[in-house]
Amino acid sequence: MTQRDRNGGGKRLATAGIVAALIANFSSAEAADVDQLEAQMRAMQAQLQEVKRQVDAEKAQAAATTSSNSSVDGDALDLKVKWKGAPELSSADGKFKFKVRGRLNVDYNGINQDKPITGDPDVSAVELRRARLGVEGVMFYDWVYKFELDFAGDKTAIKDAYVEYTGLPVDLKAGHFKTYNSLEAQMSANYITFMEKAAFIEAFTIDRLIGGGVSYDENKHWTAEAGIFGTAPEAGQTTYFDDGTTLSARLTAAPLNRERRVVHLGASVRDRDAPSQSRDGSEDPLFLYRARGADLHLADRFVFTPQFGQSDTLWALEGAVVLGSFSVQGEYAQDTVHTAAAQASADPTYDGWYVDASWFLTGESRPYANGQFVRVKVKNPVNGGSGGWGAWQVAGRYDVVDLSDQSTAIAGCTGCGEQETWLIGVNWYLNDYTRLMFNVNQSEINGGINDGAEIAGIGMRAQLDW
């Protein structure tokens, strides 16, 4: 073997040794990495098992909760929400409904009360005309309830507070609610055209009493309703049927009743007896009759009678026509008073009536349902930067209340006279639930101690209801 062969063999042996060493080292490292990877996989597998255990536990808890809820009332706990000025909550099946309701009227009255004749100073004042909060809803499909308080005038007064059963062909109602008389008296003040209702409604005290009633209003062309109530002093919340009873009934017909086209006719009657005496002797139970000047709430009363009525009988007729954006409405009421013999030698008959017309410049119309007019639907509301103009309505009214009959035969009837009032109104409906109102009114007084007086005023209102 040559030297070259020996040298070459040595190099090959050295190279083989190096390669063998590298392979051994690589195999050792590879074995270590595999062990580490297997350890990591075992750790991850343990974590996944823990997560799966937690998920299974949460699923079991959720299933138990759902089962518990279902055992209480099934699907009735599913909640539906509608927005009607405020949220209206109801169960999915309609079995229960609940809504918080309320309204706010902020008024300004500026009135010239013709002091040289009446002796009463002028008025420039603001007031919370109405500040109401309440609830309404449905229980078990057929039981309707409503309860509302008014906080205006630095006092708290109960307004509507009743329960009504609607599961029969007729509805049955019990509680504190309006007697069934007069179209405008029945309507919510949220929907009337002028700031105040017609003068005869105040003069003849058409208002809420405690009692029960039955009504039918499922047919779009006619309604019928009647009730019996305990006669109470103004705003009284306790009445005694043995001392005084009020009966009332109203019938309406709408031979034409479709969208933007309505013909409404109606009639109502009321008969009431005053209590023979108040239970605690603190109040005179006899009826009186009076109305505010210029049909504004902060005006004084310039036609009035003494408290002398033992009973009275009221008849009223009503009518209205809607032709698109134009509307005409009117009512006539007559009240025959049966007087206490010690105070009068005759039974006077008082009357009141009005006629008005209105027109929506922006194309809206007065909606009608169940024998009365309801909420106006604004086509282009002012909200959300939409650029809408809202709804604009102009209106005029002539309103009369006459308390002059048999004035010389009634003791102390110094204020018995007639009041004639002209009204012009502009209403701006910003949306379905917000309205700004402006009225210009003037009354002329004929008869009594305020004969010849002219009462003029303006009224403004910011109104919000929900």
Domain ranges of the chain: 3-74, 96-465
pLDDT of residue 154: 86
Distance between CA 189 and CA 172 in Å, rounded? 24
Length of the chain equals 466
Give me the residues paired with residue 265 across strands. 253, 319
pLDDT of residue 200: 98
Closest CA to 86 of 75, 67, 102: 102
> Which of the following CATH numbers is that of domain 96-465: 3.20.20.70, 2.40.160.10, 3.40.50.12280, 3.40.50.10710?
2.40.160.10
**Do residues 231 and 246 lie in contact, with contact meaning Cβ atoms separated by under 8 Å?**
yes
User: At 18, phi and psi to the nearest 5?
Assistant: -65, -45
pLDDT of residue 236: 47
Q: Nearest-5° angle of CA 284, CA 289, CA 291?
A: 130
Dihedral sign, CA of 260, 321, 107, 114?
positive
Residues whose CB is less than 8 angstroms from the CB of residue 362 and which lie 6 or more positions away in sequence, other chains included: 379, 380, 389, 390, 391, 392
**Do residues 179 and 213 lie in contact, with contact meaning Cβ atoms separated by under 8 Å?**
no
Distance between CA 109 and CA 289 in Å, rounded? 23
pLDDT of residue 29: 45
pLDDT along the chain (466 residues), means of 10: 45 44 46 65 73 73 56 59 90 94 98 98 98 97 98 93 97 98 98 98 96 92 96 55 84 97 98 76 78 98 95 98 98 96 89 98 98 97 86 98 96 96 98 97 98 98 98
Q: Count of alpha carbons within 13 Å of 193, Cβ hemisphere only?
A: 30
pLDDT of residue 304: 98
Strands 391-402 and 349-360: antiparallel
**Do residues 221 and 255 lie in contact, with contact meaning Cβ atoms separated by under 8 Å?**
yes
Residues whose CB is less than 8 angstroms from the CB of residue 353 and which lie 6 or more positions away in sequence, other chains included: 200, 330, 331, 332, 333, 399, 400
pLDDT of residue 19: 40
pLDDT of residue 71: 44
pLDDT of residue 62: 62
Residue appearing with tokens 């282009």: 380
Closest CA to 443 of 455, 433, 453: 455
